[in-house]
Amino acid sequence: MNLLGAAIFLLAILLFSTFLNWYVFQAVKTVALTLESEKTRQWINVAYWMVFGGISVWYIWTFVKISLTGEFSFSTQTMLNVFLTVVVTQLVCIVFLFAEDIARNTQALLAYLWNTSNGFILPSRKIWVSVLAFVISAIPFFGFVYGMAFGKHNFKLHKEIIYFEDLPEAFDGFTITQISDIHVGSFKDPKHIQKGIDLAIAQKSDLFVFTGDLVNHKADEIEPYLTQFSSIKAPYGQFSIIGNHDYGDYIAWPSKEAKDENFRNFKKQHEKLGYRLLLDESIKIEKDGQYIQLLGVENWGVGFGARGDLEKAIKQTAYDDFKILLSHDPSHWDAEVKNNPNPIHLTLSGHTHGMQFGIETPIIRWSPVQYRYPNWAGLAEENNKYLYVNRGFGFHAFSGRVGIWPEITVIELRKKK
């Protein structure tokens, strides 16, 4: 980002934060009116602006450091957690205040039109609306607190049974455990990782696959956890691919040689894990004299680099082969996979994390990430081609999960009778 772009970004953050602080302050002033002491009300007002004004300055200072150094430290992580928690909480509060402002202005306008001699008089804010705004906005606030403390370790098992007419008979009932987006550099406590690993091992699937983003930036992030993740075994093997974070593109390196060396080491880490890293290639998975083709490509994603060569992997297969593709970014499925003349039956992806924030219930399913990715979590189908998007094992940037929990996936292949 150039200097002008950085200045515009910082100014936008400052203006946005100031606007949110000012709007929520209207509710603070309204509720404070219930206090008899004028001095107490003044202290509340001063304290509010000291706290939230200070937080806004912290935002700007941290973003300046990121712009100058490219460093993403623990303090940066903490700031981002606070930023998201405060902004979402304030936005929920403002929804109620804005609705009240519409009602207040409408009431004043109608009164003015009815009797212009009285002038345009805006009714005072109602205390109960401000109190309600605070009560409701406490829900996302405590939701984010829970998500940062516990939600990021709240592993959930998702199972899907998918039926195919041309699945080889020997693979009827074949199971695949998938994890994705470990982002191991974000973890601090091995016992939290072990909880997810134990859940994956307990499925006793025929095949294990990992669909990219092993690390945040550097290959050595996985070192403390090699023994834990290498304990995941499956009778028909463990296979993996590369995600966009695994290339080390998002931090500054002292030289191109240092970055290249890191990537070479990264690929060696998969060997230590016992994962066969698929680099634009296909491998036969054989059972009882029959086989399916497992393809894996390097990262290919809209806006995240198109390194993967799908055609290179497909050339190693026959048209009639039953094919499963590992491709990190689900946008690849829309762009190159689902309409490929050489059919790929099932694609397994990750990448989105479900943005680590959203609502998933039998009635409501929403996350901000859906405005970027039409297929952001779970199973999608088009013309008998399937895509499954794993919600991710780990977390990145925001150190938590709210409503979109970390996932272990089990896919069962069944032959349609």
Question: Looking at residue 285, what is its pLDDT?
Answer: 98
HSE toward the beta carbon, residue 302, CA cutoff 13 A: 11
Question: Looking at residue 9, what is its pLDDT?
Answer: 82
Q: Is the dihedral of CA 204, 207, 211, 216 positive or negative?
A: positive
Question: Looking at residue 121, what is its pLDDT?
Answer: 84
Question: Looking at residue 385, what is its pLDDT?
Answer: 96
CA angle, 74 as apex, 69 and 78 as ends, to 5°? 110
Q: Domain limits of the chain?
A: 3-149, 155-415
Say which amino acid occupies 305.
G
Give 60-63 contacts, CB < 8 A, sequence gap 24+: 60/10, 60/13, 60/14, 63/9, 63/10, 63/13
Question: Looking at residue 115, what is its pLDDT?
Answer: 81
The pTM for the full model equals 0.90
For residue 350, which of 263, 306, 408 has the smallest C-alpha distance? 408
Identify the segments of the chain with pLDDT beneath 50: none
CATH 3.60.21.10 assigned to domain 155-415? The reply is yes
CA angle, 343 as apex, 342 and 347 as ends, to 5°? 125
Strand partners, 7: none
